[in-house]
Chain A
Amino acid sequence: MTQTIDTKTVKHVANLVRLGISEEEAQTFSGQFSSIIDYFNMLNEVDTENVVPASDIANAENVLREDVVKPSMDREEFLKNAPQSERGYVKVPTVLGDE
């Protein structure tokens, strides 16, 4: 049972994770993904009827605390790592297009 992940699917998932890729890379990844996913399909052998999916690993209870205001990182300090900033804000190009 071989499941092919074609270049169209590779480009689709690349777009979902906002990753620019070339045609050549899409080809390479397509081959690699097919063999990896094919191997993972062995999970189909496992009977999981009535098995609850795992959702937590350790502390199965909510952890609550008082909602109190505490000092957080200074704005100037935070912006030290921002590639572009202006008047105390992180600056990015247009988020919404004209259309």
Chain B
Amino acid sequence: MELSTLTIQEIHQLLITKKISSVELTQSMLNRIHDVDSKVKSYVTVTDEVALEQAKRADERIAKNESVTPLTGIPFAMKDCISTRNVKTTCSSKILENYVPQYNATVTNKLADAGAVLVGKTNMDEFGMGSSCENSAFFNTRNPWNLNHVPGGSSGGSAAAMSASLASFTIGEDTGGSVRMPAGFCNVTGIKPTYGRVSRYGLISLVSSFDCIGPMTRDVYDCATVLEHIAGHDEKDSTTYQSPVPNYTQHINKPINKLKLGIPKEYFVAGMEAGVESALQESIRQFEKLGMEIHEVSLPHTKYGLPVYYLLLFAEASSNLARFDGTRFGLSKSDNAKDVIDIYLQTRREGFDDEVKRRIMLGAYALSAGYYDAYYLKAQKVRTLLRRDFETALASCDLLLAPTCPTTAFKLGEKTNDPLAMYLSDIYVVATNPAGVPAMALPCGFSNDMPVGMQLIGKHLDEQTLFQVGHAYQQVTDWHKKLPNL
């Protein structure tokens, strides 16, 4: 039996009926990573020792039938921007290449408490800045569906690892599509929860007001299972919601007929790859067959989503990344430094790659005297309008449907010389983050043999509806079951 391709739900059954042990499962996953990941290059660090130790403890829990959860004994991988105590956390940046955190992120603790088994940390665009994983300072991750193509970004490693069956689930982080866009490119399911649903404590910040940690999984049911375990209030992150986390999986089979699905007309315009558009149209018909009501809606400020997102990202990132200064942790360059400023200048010059340099400089520009009103403040005002767009559309509908990207995964190197062209690939995913609403990506077809993704966008804190609708869709389609040949 090929264990690596099973869902969490299927593995859980095998574990609790003692057909397999977590140690066996974990060892076979680690073997597969050591065999196959040289092609995909999704992992920055593989944590063999930690994994086998956690698997052993999971087996003890299962043997004693003590606090066994659906995640107990399940091997997973974590995006390398989420802190793991005593395990390197690099953000795929030279400035953190050898950084070993002394503490865990809340998400790391929650997954450890649930008994999940960490098999490694996955590659990403440096500090989450990119849409193809090509901005990793270490190496390019490849799309398991075609190794000459990118996996998307910034959670490209987590998407590729999930797609290549190199973990039973992965954790990504979505600042402006970084879970959904690579999920679409690699044929996996992934959710950006409502802002504030999952604690950001221990996540290395990119844009504090956009960042959302979310799972990437084989199917919607697994996605709901993982979110149940990582969501919730955290006193260490005051932006987390106090409201209890619903039992998403318990209600996942609730009927979806009569639910209203909004199709934003601004998302279906010229420029979309023909195969992407036809896959999306086919899914709309599928939802109609499932008894949903389809309505056209308008998100009038859509075209401004990209500049709003990037301007606010530049500004917040330039401030957040000020902490990497070579004095307290991380890379430190102090050759003949005559004062502390010299350490800053040298460390940041050597430690950051070009995209990070571009963005923090543009952030300082957008925030500087004379430009603050024209750029930063203007973007925050248009952000208010973007948010109202979603509120209005979601007042008349239960959820919205959109593509995750205008194209399928592009070739490695295709957009690296043109930063603006790379930014434009995020056009469908960025607007949800300034608005804070939840959105889930799921496979919906193929175009020229490459996967196509769609996203379901919901109301604040209404992940439940996204899971119900996505689950119903996956009961009548099998796109999510298609796996790449490696």
Contact = CB atoms under 8 A, between A and B. Distances in A.
A40 B362 CA distance: 11
A47 to B, nearest CB: 9
Contacts of A58: 194-196, 239, 241, 436, 460
B339 A94 contact: yes
Nearest to B385: A51
B378 interface: yes
Interface in B361-413: 361-365, 368, 375, 377-385, 387
Contacts of A57: 195-196, 209, 239, 434-436
Interface string A34-63: 011101101110101001111111110001
A55 B235 CA distance: 21
A19 to B, nearest CB: 5
B144 interface: no
Given A81-B100, A81-B330, A83-B326, A13 B348 contact: no
Contact of A81 (B102, B304, B360, B434): B102
Contact of B304 (A14, A37, A46): A46
B361 A92 contact: no
Contacts of B348: 17-20
Interface residues of A, number: 50
A13 B327 contact: no
Nearest to B99: A81
A73 B419 contact: no
A73 B328 CA distance: 14
A19 B384 CA distance: 32
A9 B368 CA distance: 11
Interface string A57-98: 111000101000000010001101111100000101111010
Contact of A13 (B303, B308, B368): B368
Contacts of B100: 80-81
B245 to A, nearest CB: 15
Nearest to B376: A53
Contact of A43 (B340, B342, B379, B419): B379
Nearest to B329: A81
Q: Which of A9, A18, A73 has the most chain B CB atoms inside 10 A of its CB?
A: A18
B341 interface: yes
Interface string B414-440: 000001100100000000001110000
Interface in B281-325: 301, 303-304, 307-308, 310-311, 318, 321-322, 325
B377 to A, nearest CB: 6
A19 B345 contact: yes
Contact of A82 (B318, B328, B380, B387): B328
A33 B340 contact: no
A53 B380 contact: yes
Contacts of A20: 345-346, 348-349
A65 B365 contact: no
B339 A14 contact: no
A19 B380 contact: no
Given A42-B307, A43-B382, A59-B196, A33 B361 contact: yes
Contacts of A94: 338-340
Interface in B340-358: 340-346, 348-349, 352, 357-358
A40 B103 contact: no
B381 A53 contact: yes
Interface in B231-270: 235, 238-239, 241
Interface of A: 5, 9-10, 13-14, 16-21, 25, 29, 32-33, 35-37, 39-40, 42-44, 46, 48, 51-59, 63, 65, 73, 77-78, 80-84, 90, 92-95, 97
The 10 lowest CB-CB distance pairs between A and B, nearest first, are A83-B332, A53-B380, A81-B329, A20-B349, A20-B345, A18-B344, A48-B381, A63-B238, A58-B196, A54-B383
Interface of B: 99-100, 102-103, 194-196, 209, 235, 238-239, 241, 301, 303-304, 307-308, 310-311, 318, 321-322, 325-330, 332, 334, 337-346, 348-349, 352, 357-358, 360-365, 368, 375, 377-385, 387, 419-420, 423, 434-436, 460
